Amino acid sequence: MTTRDLGLIHRFEPGAPDRAPLLLLHGTGGDEGDLLPLGRMVAPGAPLLSPRGAVLENGMPRFFRRLAEGVFDEADLRRRAHELADFVAAARTAYGIGAPVALGFSNGANIAAATLLLRPETFAGAVLLRPMLPFGEAEAGADLAGRPVLMLSGALDPIVPEASAAALADRLARAGAAVEHRRLPAGHGLSQADVAEAQAWLGRAAIPAAA
């Protein structure tokens, strides 16, 4: 069911209480239904929380504003990351779930990365699909000690510079996260390899439901 409660339009699918919930964060032009099939594939039976980005760019939902392709409005990104963290906190209370694993694609991966750096307590871990470095300057105080993060980049991605993804992996690792960063033979779009890698990683990470 789609609802406007808790500050963001979203959908919630209950799941098994022993499965860590997933927070599904769509790319530009997606909505709250976009990544539900992916969530069901990579984490069968897990509770799924899927919000819609509140920013519109030419009518397409996003999670934060950008000034141009690959150029983020960092002030808006910071504000939206805190809003997302507040939404997750409210949803945990409303739905009785633990800290979720963020599963974000493109714009959704970037808001997830920003939230990890600004409000690290929000997520138990993260799967970042085609992310790039969200902030030009390092965030002070981010403590991601042992937080598992999987980053999947596309070797043929025309949108995300390889150096930006590598810089994000380095920044997360320096904040203490346990980062696995893989470059797949893919472009910016998702592939079956992304599904397989994410599913395998979630199995290995074994993140508890009540994290």
Partners of 152 in the β-ladder: 129, 182
H/E stretch holding 41 reads helix 36-42
Instruction: Answer yes or no: are the C-beta atoms of 172 and 144 closer than 8 Å.
Output: yes
Catalytic residue among 50, 106, 153, 194: 106
Instruction: Find out whether 147 and 176 touch, Cβ atoms under 8 Å.
Output: yes
From 73, 76, 188, 191, active-site residue: 188
The catalytically annotated residue of 10, 34, 153, 157 is 157
In three-state form (DSSP H/G/I as H, E/B as E, the rest C), the secondary structure along 136-204 is CCCCCCCCCCCCEEEEEEECCCCCCCHHHHHHHHHHHHHCCCEEEEEEECCCCCCCHHHHHHHHHHHHH
Rg (CA), the chain: 15
Task: Check if 106 is active-site.
Answer: yes
Known catalytic membership, residue 34: no
170 is catalytic: no
56: left (phi over 0), alpha (psi -120 to 50) or beta: beta
- So which residues are the catalytic ones? 106, 157, 188
